[in-house]
Copies of this chain bind each other. A is one copy, B any other.
Amino acid sequence: MEAAARTNQNVGATSWFSSFQRLKDKAAKLGKKLKKIGKDDPRRILHSFKVGLALSLISIFYYVNPLFTSLGSSSTMWAVLTVVVVMEYTAGGTLSKGLNRTLATLLAGALGLAAQRLAALSSHSAGEPILLSVFVFLLAAMATFSRFVPEIKARYDYGVTIFILTFSMVAVSGYREAELIKLALKRLSTIAIGVGTCLAISIFVFPVWAGEDLHNLLPANIDKLACFLEGLEREYFGEKMGGDQILEEASFLGTYKPVLNSKPTEDLLANFARWEPGHGCFGFCHPWKLYLKVGALARQCAYSMEAISSHISTDKKSKVITDSEFRERIRTACAEMSSKTGKALAELATAIRQMRAPSTAAAQHLSNAMTASESLKALSPPKDASLPEILQPATTASLLSEVVKSAQHLSTAVEELSRVAHFKRQGQGHKDSAVKPVAGGESSPHVVVEIKK
Protein backbone atom coordinates (compact mmCIF):
# COMPACT_ATOMS: atom_id res chain seq x y z
CA MET A 1 0.00 0.00 0.00
CA GLU A 2 2.61 2.43 1.10
CA ALA A 3 4.83 1.60 -1.84
CA ALA A 4 1.92 2.08 -4.24
CA ALA A 5 1.10 5.42 -2.70
CA ARG A 6 4.69 6.47 -2.99
CA THR A 7 4.77 5.39 -6.65
CA ASN A 8 1.57 7.36 -7.27
CA GLN A 9 3.17 10.34 -5.61
CA ASN A 10 6.22 9.90 -7.80
CA VAL A 11 4.11 9.62 -10.92
CA GLY A 12 2.20 12.73 -9.86
CA ALA A 13 5.42 14.61 -9.26
CA THR A 14 6.85 13.45 -12.58
CA SER A 15 3.74 14.47 -14.53
CA TRP A 16 3.76 17.84 -12.75
CA PHE A 17 7.39 18.23 -13.56
CA SER A 18 6.93 17.27 -17.22
CA SER A 19 4.00 19.61 -17.69
CA PHE A 20 6.03 22.35 -16.02
CA GLN A 21 8.85 21.52 -18.40
CA ARG A 22 6.47 21.75 -21.36
CA LEU A 23 5.20 25.10 -20.16
CA LYS A 24 8.77 26.31 -19.80
CA ASP A 25 9.56 25.19 -23.36
CA LYS A 26 6.51 26.99 -24.67
CA ALA A 27 7.43 30.16 -22.82
CA ALA A 28 10.98 29.96 -24.17
CA LYS A 29 9.60 29.53 -27.70
CA LEU A 30 7.28 32.50 -27.30
CA GLY A 31 10.13 34.56 -25.90
CA LYS A 32 12.28 33.71 -28.91
CA LYS A 33 9.45 34.64 -31.26
CA LEU A 34 8.88 37.97 -29.56
CA LYS A 35 12.60 38.68 -29.62
CA LYS A 36 12.71 37.96 -33.34
CA ILE A 37 9.72 40.24 -33.99
CA GLY A 38 11.45 43.04 -32.13
CA LYS A 39 14.78 42.39 -33.83
CA ASP A 40 13.27 42.29 -37.33
CA ASP A 41 12.00 45.81 -36.91
CA PRO A 42 13.04 47.66 -33.72
CA ARG A 43 10.51 50.39 -34.53
CA ARG A 44 7.88 47.98 -33.24
CA ILE A 45 9.33 48.22 -29.74
CA LEU A 46 9.43 52.01 -30.05
CA HIS A 47 5.82 52.04 -31.18
CA SER A 48 4.76 50.01 -28.15
CA PHE A 49 6.47 52.53 -25.87
CA LYS A 50 4.84 55.37 -27.77
CA VAL A 51 1.37 53.94 -27.09
CA GLY A 52 2.25 53.58 -23.43
CA LEU A 53 3.51 57.16 -23.38
CA ALA A 54 0.36 58.55 -25.02
CA LEU A 55 -1.85 56.78 -22.49
CA SER A 56 0.23 57.89 -19.54
CA LEU A 57 0.08 61.48 -20.80
CA ILE A 58 -3.69 61.37 -21.19
CA SER A 59 -4.14 59.85 -17.74
CA ILE A 60 -2.61 63.02 -16.26
CA PHE A 61 -6.04 64.57 -16.87
CA TYR A 62 -7.34 62.29 -14.14
CA TYR A 63 -4.68 63.13 -11.61
CA VAL A 64 -4.50 66.90 -11.92
CA ASN A 65 -7.48 68.43 -10.16
CA PRO A 66 -8.16 71.57 -12.24
CA LEU A 67 -7.96 69.59 -15.48
CA PHE A 68 -10.27 66.88 -14.21
CA THR A 69 -12.93 69.19 -12.88
CA SER A 70 -12.99 71.15 -16.12
CA LEU A 71 -13.69 68.02 -18.16
CA GLY A 72 -15.49 65.62 -15.87
CA SER A 73 -15.14 61.86 -15.45
CA SER A 74 -17.09 60.72 -18.49
CA SER A 75 -15.31 63.10 -20.86
CA THR A 76 -11.88 62.13 -19.61
CA MET A 77 -12.74 58.57 -20.46
CA TRP A 78 -13.43 59.63 -24.02
CA ALA A 79 -9.93 61.03 -24.27
CA VAL A 80 -8.49 57.67 -23.14
CA LEU A 81 -10.71 55.84 -25.60
CA THR A 82 -9.64 58.11 -28.44
CA VAL A 83 -5.97 57.50 -27.75
CA VAL A 84 -6.35 53.72 -27.66
CA VAL A 85 -8.37 53.57 -30.86
CA VAL A 86 -6.65 56.23 -32.96
CA MET A 87 -3.00 55.43 -32.29
CA GLU A 88 -1.70 53.45 -35.26
CA TYR A 89 1.71 52.08 -36.17
CA THR A 90 2.33 54.57 -38.99
CA ALA A 91 1.90 58.33 -38.84
CA GLY A 92 -0.37 58.13 -41.88
CA GLY A 93 -2.56 55.57 -40.14
CA THR A 94 -2.91 57.80 -37.06
CA LEU A 95 -3.63 60.84 -39.24
CA SER A 96 -6.22 58.94 -41.27
CA LYS A 97 -8.00 57.67 -38.16
CA GLY A 98 -7.69 60.94 -36.27
CA LEU A 99 -9.11 63.03 -39.11
CA ASN A 100 -11.84 60.47 -39.77
CA ARG A 101 -12.80 60.54 -36.11
CA THR A 102 -12.79 64.32 -35.76
CA LEU A 103 -14.69 65.10 -38.95
CA ALA A 104 -17.20 62.30 -38.46
CA THR A 105 -17.84 63.47 -34.89
CA LEU A 106 -18.41 67.06 -36.02
CA LEU A 107 -20.77 66.11 -38.84
CA ALA A 108 -22.69 63.50 -36.88
CA GLY A 109 -22.89 65.76 -33.83
CA ALA A 110 -24.47 68.55 -35.86
CA LEU A 111 -26.90 66.18 -37.56
CA GLY A 112 -27.73 64.54 -34.22
CA LEU A 113 -28.55 67.91 -32.67
CA ALA A 114 -30.75 68.75 -35.63
CA ALA A 115 -32.57 65.44 -35.38
CA GLN A 116 -33.05 65.95 -31.67
CA ARG A 117 -34.56 69.45 -32.15
CA LEU A 118 -36.82 68.14 -34.89
CA ALA A 119 -38.11 65.32 -32.72
CA ALA A 120 -38.64 67.67 -29.78
CA LEU A 121 -41.14 69.63 -31.90
CA SER A 122 -43.51 66.67 -31.72
CA SER A 123 -46.53 67.52 -29.62
CA HIS A 124 -47.33 64.01 -28.41
CA SER A 125 -45.25 62.68 -25.49
CA ALA A 126 -44.56 59.34 -27.17
CA GLY A 127 -43.78 61.13 -30.45
CA GLU A 128 -40.27 62.16 -29.52
CA PRO A 129 -38.77 58.72 -28.79
CA ILE A 130 -40.55 57.21 -31.80
CA LEU A 131 -39.25 59.91 -34.14
CA LEU A 132 -35.75 59.59 -32.67
CA SER A 133 -35.80 55.83 -33.16
CA VAL A 134 -36.82 56.28 -36.79
CA PHE A 135 -34.02 58.79 -37.36
CA VAL A 136 -31.44 56.52 -35.78
CA PHE A 137 -32.72 53.54 -37.75
CA LEU A 138 -32.60 55.37 -41.08
CA LEU A 139 -29.24 57.08 -40.60
CA ALA A 140 -27.57 53.92 -39.28
CA ALA A 141 -28.94 51.82 -42.14
CA MET A 142 -27.87 54.32 -44.80
CA ALA A 143 -24.41 54.83 -43.33
CA THR A 144 -23.91 51.06 -42.96
CA PHE A 145 -24.88 50.55 -46.57
CA SER A 146 -22.40 53.19 -47.72
CA ARG A 147 -19.62 51.03 -46.25
CA PHE A 148 -20.16 48.52 -49.03
CA VAL A 149 -18.93 51.09 -51.58
CA PRO A 150 -15.30 49.99 -52.10
CA GLU A 151 -13.93 53.57 -52.18
CA ILE A 152 -15.61 54.46 -48.87
CA LYS A 153 -14.60 51.14 -47.33
CA ALA A 154 -10.95 51.73 -48.22
CA ARG A 155 -10.65 55.28 -46.94
CA TYR A 156 -13.49 56.23 -44.64
CA ASP A 157 -14.61 52.99 -42.99
CA TYR A 158 -13.59 54.17 -39.54
CA GLY A 159 -15.19 57.56 -40.10
CA VAL A 160 -18.52 55.95 -40.96
CA THR A 161 -18.42 53.87 -37.76
CA ILE A 162 -17.80 56.98 -35.70
CA PHE A 163 -20.52 58.82 -37.61
CA ILE A 164 -23.13 56.18 -36.71
CA LEU A 165 -21.89 56.09 -33.11
CA THR A 166 -21.93 59.83 -32.54
CA PHE A 167 -25.21 60.42 -34.29
CA SER A 168 -26.96 57.72 -32.24
CA MET A 169 -25.48 59.00 -28.99
CA VAL A 170 -26.25 62.67 -29.56
CA ALA A 171 -29.73 62.09 -30.96
CA VAL A 172 -30.74 59.63 -28.27
CA SER A 173 -29.09 61.13 -25.22
CA GLY A 174 -30.65 64.48 -26.09
CA TYR A 175 -33.82 62.91 -24.77
CA ARG A 176 -32.29 62.89 -21.30
CA GLU A 177 -29.65 65.60 -21.17
CA ALA A 178 -30.75 69.17 -20.73
CA GLU A 179 -27.56 70.92 -21.83
CA LEU A 180 -26.87 68.93 -24.93
CA ILE A 181 -24.76 71.49 -26.77
CA LYS A 182 -22.51 72.02 -23.78
CA LEU A 183 -22.08 68.27 -23.48
CA ALA A 184 -21.33 67.90 -27.19
CA LEU A 185 -18.72 70.66 -27.09
CA LYS A 186 -17.05 69.10 -24.06
CA ARG A 187 -16.92 65.74 -25.79
CA LEU A 188 -15.53 67.28 -28.93
CA SER A 189 -12.79 68.96 -26.94
CA THR A 190 -11.78 65.64 -25.32
CA ILE A 191 -11.65 63.98 -28.72
CA ALA A 192 -9.50 66.85 -29.96
CA ILE A 193 -7.18 66.39 -26.97
CA GLY A 194 -6.91 62.65 -27.64
CA VAL A 195 -6.33 63.03 -31.37
CA GLY A 196 -3.85 65.85 -30.77
CA THR A 197 -1.83 63.75 -28.33
CA CYS A 198 -1.74 60.82 -30.75
CA LEU A 199 -0.76 62.98 -33.69
CA ALA A 200 1.98 64.78 -31.80
CA ILE A 201 3.50 61.51 -30.63
CA SER A 202 3.06 59.79 -34.00
CA ILE A 203 4.62 62.59 -35.97
CA PHE A 204 7.28 63.95 -33.64
CA VAL A 205 8.46 60.97 -31.57
CA PHE A 206 10.39 58.51 -33.79
CA PRO A 207 7.77 58.70 -36.55
CA VAL A 208 7.05 55.66 -38.72
CA TRP A 209 5.97 56.93 -42.14
CA ALA A 210 3.74 54.69 -44.24
CA GLY A 211 5.14 56.40 -47.32
CA GLU A 212 8.68 55.55 -46.34
CA ASP A 213 7.69 51.95 -45.68
CA LEU A 214 6.07 51.74 -49.11
CA HIS A 215 9.14 53.33 -50.65
CA ASN A 216 11.30 50.65 -49.02
CA LEU A 217 8.92 47.76 -49.67
CA LEU A 218 9.06 48.12 -53.46
CA PRO A 219 12.84 47.83 -53.90
CA ALA A 220 12.90 44.99 -51.35
CA ASN A 221 10.34 43.13 -53.47
CA ILE A 222 12.14 43.86 -56.73
CA ASP A 223 15.35 42.62 -55.12
CA LYS A 224 13.59 39.36 -54.28
CA LEU A 225 12.80 38.95 -57.98
CA ALA A 226 16.43 39.72 -58.85
CA CYS A 227 17.59 37.12 -56.32
CA PHE A 228 15.43 34.48 -57.97
CA LEU A 229 16.87 35.22 -61.41
CA GLU A 230 20.43 35.27 -60.14
CA GLY A 231 19.86 32.01 -58.27
CA LEU A 232 18.40 30.55 -61.45
CA GLU A 233 21.48 31.51 -63.41
CA ARG A 234 23.88 30.23 -60.75
CA GLU A 235 22.18 27.01 -59.71
CA TYR A 236 20.08 25.94 -62.67
CA PHE A 237 21.74 27.18 -65.82
CA GLY A 238 25.16 26.77 -64.27
CA GLU A 239 26.78 24.33 -66.69
CA LYS A 240 24.39 21.43 -66.10
CA MET A 241 20.91 22.54 -67.07
CA GLY A 242 18.26 19.85 -66.94
CA GLY A 243 20.61 17.57 -65.12
CA ASP A 244 19.89 15.78 -61.90
CA GLN A 245 20.68 18.48 -59.36
CA ILE A 246 18.32 18.55 -56.40
CA LEU A 247 16.23 21.58 -57.20
CA GLU A 248 13.66 21.24 -54.46
CA GLU A 249 16.28 22.16 -51.91
CA ALA A 250 17.53 25.12 -53.91
CA SER A 251 17.02 28.15 -51.75
CA PHE A 252 16.39 30.62 -54.56
CA LEU A 253 13.24 28.84 -55.73
CA GLY A 254 11.06 30.48 -53.11
CA THR A 255 12.51 34.00 -53.02
CA TYR A 256 9.85 35.63 -55.23
CA LYS A 257 6.91 34.04 -53.35
CA PRO A 258 6.20 36.86 -50.86
CA VAL A 259 5.76 39.20 -53.84
CA LEU A 260 2.77 37.18 -55.11
CA ASN A 261 0.60 38.34 -52.20
CA SER A 262 2.03 41.81 -51.65
CA LYS A 263 -1.04 43.67 -52.94
CA PRO A 264 -2.94 44.20 -49.64
CA THR A 265 0.13 45.57 -47.85
CA GLU A 266 0.95 47.93 -50.70
CA ASP A 267 -2.64 49.16 -50.95
CA LEU A 268 -2.81 49.83 -47.21
CA LEU A 269 0.50 51.68 -47.10
CA ALA A 270 -0.40 53.80 -50.16
CA ASN A 271 -3.75 54.63 -48.57
CA PHE A 272 -2.06 55.82 -45.37
CA ALA A 273 0.79 57.56 -47.22
CA ARG A 274 -1.72 59.85 -48.93
CA TRP A 275 -2.66 61.38 -45.55
CA GLU A 276 0.91 62.09 -44.51
CA PRO A 277 2.42 65.59 -44.65
CA GLY A 278 5.67 66.08 -46.55
CA HIS A 279 8.57 64.46 -44.70
CA GLY A 280 12.19 63.70 -45.52
CA CYS A 281 12.52 63.32 -49.28
CA PHE A 282 8.78 62.93 -49.87
CA GLY A 283 6.60 65.93 -50.68
CA PHE A 284 2.91 66.10 -49.83
CA CYS A 285 1.91 65.21 -53.40
CA HIS A 286 4.39 62.38 -53.85
CA PRO A 287 2.96 60.08 -56.55
CA TRP A 288 2.07 57.12 -54.34
CA LYS A 289 -0.28 55.81 -57.03
CA LEU A 290 2.72 55.16 -59.29
CA TYR A 291 4.21 53.02 -56.53
CA LEU A 292 1.12 50.84 -56.76
CA LYS A 293 1.65 50.60 -60.52
CA VAL A 294 5.28 49.54 -60.06
CA GLY A 295 4.14 47.06 -57.41
CA ALA A 296 1.55 45.55 -59.74
CA LEU A 297 4.18 45.09 -62.47
CA ALA A 298 6.56 43.48 -59.98
CA ARG A 299 3.76 41.06 -59.12
CA GLN A 300 3.36 40.35 -62.84
CA CYS A 301 7.04 39.35 -62.94
CA ALA A 302 6.51 37.13 -59.91
CA TYR A 303 3.63 35.32 -61.64
CA SER A 304 5.92 34.44 -64.56
CA MET A 305 8.55 33.28 -62.09
CA GLU A 306 5.97 31.07 -60.42
CA ALA A 307 5.40 29.43 -63.82
CA ILE A 308 9.15 28.93 -64.31
CA SER A 309 9.58 27.59 -60.81
CA SER A 310 6.80 25.03 -61.11
CA HIS A 311 7.93 24.12 -64.62
CA ILE A 312 11.52 23.39 -63.71
CA SER A 313 10.69 21.58 -60.50
CA THR A 314 8.09 19.26 -62.03
CA ASP A 315 9.97 18.53 -65.23
CA LYS A 316 13.36 17.96 -63.70
CA LYS A 317 12.97 14.19 -63.83
CA SER A 318 12.29 14.00 -67.56
CA LYS A 319 15.36 12.71 -69.30
CA VAL A 320 17.11 15.20 -71.47
CA ILE A 321 19.02 13.45 -74.22
CA THR A 322 18.95 16.15 -76.80
CA ASP A 323 21.74 17.01 -79.07
CA SER A 324 24.20 18.69 -76.78
CA GLU A 325 25.00 21.70 -78.97
CA PHE A 326 21.31 22.66 -79.14
CA ARG A 327 20.98 22.32 -75.40
CA GLU A 328 24.18 24.25 -74.80
CA ARG A 329 22.95 27.17 -76.90
CA ILE A 330 19.64 27.34 -75.09
CA ARG A 331 21.48 27.12 -71.78
CA THR A 332 23.78 30.04 -72.59
CA ALA A 333 20.87 32.13 -73.85
CA CYS A 334 18.84 31.39 -70.69
CA ALA A 335 21.82 32.06 -68.44
CA GLU A 336 22.34 35.38 -70.21
CA MET A 337 18.65 36.30 -69.94
CA SER A 338 18.34 35.54 -66.25
CA SER A 339 21.68 37.07 -65.31
CA LYS A 340 21.11 40.32 -67.22
CA THR A 341 17.47 40.68 -66.19
CA GLY A 342 18.47 39.99 -62.58
CA LYS A 343 21.10 42.72 -62.77
CA ALA A 344 18.66 45.14 -64.37
CA LEU A 345 16.09 44.49 -61.62
CA ALA A 346 18.75 44.94 -58.94
CA GLU A 347 19.69 48.27 -60.50
CA LEU A 348 16.04 49.36 -60.65
CA ALA A 349 15.67 48.47 -56.96
CA THR A 350 18.79 50.43 -56.05
CA ALA A 351 17.62 53.40 -58.11
CA ILE A 352 14.27 53.54 -56.27
CA ARG A 353 16.02 53.08 -52.93
CA GLN A 354 18.45 55.94 -53.65
CA MET A 355 15.70 58.06 -55.22
CA ARG A 356 17.55 58.54 -58.48
CA ALA A 357 16.64 57.81 -62.09
CA PRO A 358 17.68 54.28 -63.10
CA SER A 359 21.13 54.35 -64.68
CA THR A 360 21.65 53.46 -68.31
CA ALA A 361 23.11 50.19 -67.06
CA ALA A 362 19.61 48.86 -66.38
CA ALA A 363 18.45 49.59 -69.91
CA GLN A 364 21.69 48.10 -71.25
CA HIS A 365 21.21 44.88 -69.27
CA LEU A 366 17.62 44.59 -70.44
CA SER A 367 18.59 45.14 -74.03
CA ASN A 368 21.25 42.42 -73.70
CA ALA A 369 18.65 40.08 -72.24
CA MET A 370 16.36 40.91 -75.14
CA THR A 371 19.14 40.12 -77.61
CA ALA A 372 19.67 36.75 -75.94
CA SER A 373 15.95 36.10 -76.16
CA GLU A 374 15.94 37.02 -79.87
CA SER A 375 18.97 34.82 -80.54
CA LEU A 376 16.86 31.79 -79.68
CA LYS A 377 14.68 32.46 -82.69
CA ALA A 378 17.52 31.72 -85.08
CA LEU A 379 18.13 28.38 -83.42
CA SER A 380 17.17 25.16 -85.21
CA PRO A 381 16.26 22.11 -83.19
CA PRO A 382 18.19 18.92 -83.97
CA LYS A 383 16.66 17.00 -86.83
CA ASP A 384 16.09 13.74 -84.99
CA ALA A 385 14.75 15.10 -81.69
CA SER A 386 11.24 14.31 -80.50
CA LEU A 387 9.07 17.07 -79.07
CA PRO A 388 9.56 16.52 -75.30
CA GLU A 389 13.32 16.56 -75.81
CA ILE A 390 12.98 20.10 -77.12
CA LEU A 391 10.01 21.12 -75.04
CA GLN A 392 11.60 21.19 -71.60
CA PRO A 393 14.45 23.63 -72.34
CA ALA A 394 12.41 25.52 -74.93
CA THR A 395 9.54 26.19 -72.53
CA THR A 396 11.91 27.40 -69.87
CA ALA A 397 13.45 29.75 -72.43
CA SER A 398 10.05 30.96 -73.54
CA LEU A 399 8.93 31.64 -69.95
CA LEU A 400 12.16 33.50 -69.31
CA SER A 401 11.46 35.70 -72.33
CA GLU A 402 8.14 36.49 -70.64
CA VAL A 403 10.04 37.57 -67.52
CA VAL A 404 12.32 39.77 -69.64
CA LYS A 405 9.25 41.44 -71.14
CA SER A 406 7.68 42.00 -67.72
CA ALA A 407 10.97 43.43 -66.50
CA GLN A 408 10.90 45.89 -69.40
CA HIS A 409 7.41 47.06 -68.44
CA LEU A 410 8.65 47.38 -64.86
CA SER A 411 11.63 49.41 -66.04
CA THR A 412 9.35 51.78 -67.96
CA ALA A 413 7.17 52.23 -64.89
CA VAL A 414 10.18 52.94 -62.66
CA GLU A 415 11.38 55.45 -65.26
CA GLU A 416 7.96 57.15 -65.14
CA LEU A 417 8.00 57.15 -61.34
CA SER A 418 11.46 58.70 -61.24
CA ARG A 419 10.30 61.42 -63.64
CA VAL A 420 7.02 62.27 -61.91
CA ALA A 421 8.51 62.08 -58.41
CA HIS A 422 11.47 64.27 -59.47
CA PHE A 423 14.12 61.72 -58.55
CA LYS A 424 17.69 62.84 -59.09
CA ARG A 425 18.81 62.66 -62.74
CA GLN A 426 22.25 61.45 -63.69
CA GLY A 427 24.98 64.10 -63.46
CA GLN A 428 22.63 66.25 -61.44
CA GLY A 429 24.66 66.60 -58.28
CA HIS A 430 25.01 62.86 -57.89
CA LYS A 431 28.55 62.25 -59.01
CA ASP A 432 29.08 58.71 -57.75
CA SER A 433 26.50 57.16 -59.96
CA ALA A 434 27.31 59.43 -62.87
CA VAL A 435 30.93 58.38 -62.87
CA LYS A 436 30.50 54.62 -62.74
CA PRO A 437 26.91 53.73 -63.38
CA VAL A 438 27.66 50.30 -64.82
CA ALA A 439 29.81 49.22 -61.92
CA GLY A 440 27.19 50.55 -59.53
CA GLY A 441 24.59 48.53 -61.35
CA GLU A 442 26.68 45.40 -61.41
CA SER A 443 27.70 45.26 -57.81
CA SER A 444 24.72 46.83 -56.12
CA PRO A 445 24.36 45.37 -52.64
CA HIS A 446 21.25 43.27 -52.21
CA VAL A 447 18.89 43.34 -49.32
CA VAL A 448 18.95 40.16 -47.29
CA VAL A 449 15.95 38.13 -48.39
CA GLU A 450 14.24 35.80 -45.97
CA ILE A 451 13.16 32.50 -47.42
CA LYS A 452 10.04 31.00 -45.93
CA LYS A 453 9.92 27.25 -46.36
Contact = CB atoms under 8 A, between A and B. Distances in A.
A139 B59 CA distance: 14
Interface in A25-67: 33-34, 37-38, 44-45, 47-49, 51-53, 55-56, 59-60, 62-63
Contacts of A124: none
B81 A140 contact: no
A265 to B, nearest CB: 10
B381 A388 contact: no
A402 interface: yes
Given A303-B303, A387-B376, A164 B84 contact: yes
A377 interface: yes
A149 B33 CA distance: 8
A50 to B, nearest CB: 8
Contacts of A304: 306-307, 310
Nearest to A265: B264
Interface stretch (A2-10, A171-179, A203-211): A171-179
A86 B170 CA distance: 19
B52 A144 contact: yes
A260 B261 CA distance: 9
A77 interface: yes
Nearest to A165: B84
B141 A59 contact: no
Contacts of A169: 77, 80-81
Given A51-B144, A74-B74, A168 B59 contact: yes
A260 B76 CA distance: 47
Nearest to A302: B303
A303 B406 CA distance: 15
Interface string A106-129: 000000000000000000000001
A51 B141 contact: yes
Contact of A405 (B74, B133, B263, B314): B314
A179 B381 CA distance: 90
Contacts of A387: 376-381, 394
Interface residues of chain A: helix, strand, loop or mixed (majority): helix
User: Copies of this chain, how many?
Assistant: 2
B136 A73 contact: no
A73 B45 CA distance: 39
A311 B403 CA distance: 10
Given A45-B145, A84-B165, A304-B307, A52 B138 contact: yes
Interface in A420-436: none
A391 interface: yes
A20 interface: no
Contact of A394 (B38, B73, B394): B394
Nearest to A307: B307
A84 B159 CA distance: 12
Interface string A153-187: 00000000100110011001101110000000000
Contacts of A139: 52
Nearest to A45: B145
A347 to B, nearest CB: 24
B77 A145 contact: no
A84 B381 CA distance: 69
Interface of A: 33-34, 37-38, 44-45, 47-49, 51-53, 55-56, 59-60, 62-63, 68, 73-74, 76-77, 80-81, 84-85, 129, 132-133, 136-142, 144-145, 148-149, 161, 164-165, 168-169, 172-173, 175-177, 260-261, 263-264, 300, 303-304, 306-307, 310-311, 314, 376-381, 383, 385-388, 390-391, 394-395, 397-399, 402, 405-406
Given A45-B145, A56-B133, A81-B165, 20 more contacts: A51-B164, A55-B137, A56-B140, A59-B133, A59-B172, A77-B173, A80-B165, A80-B168, A80-B169, A85-B165, A260-B303, A307-B307, A310-B406, A376-B387, A376-B391, A377-B388, A379-B386, A380-B386, A381-B387, A395-B395
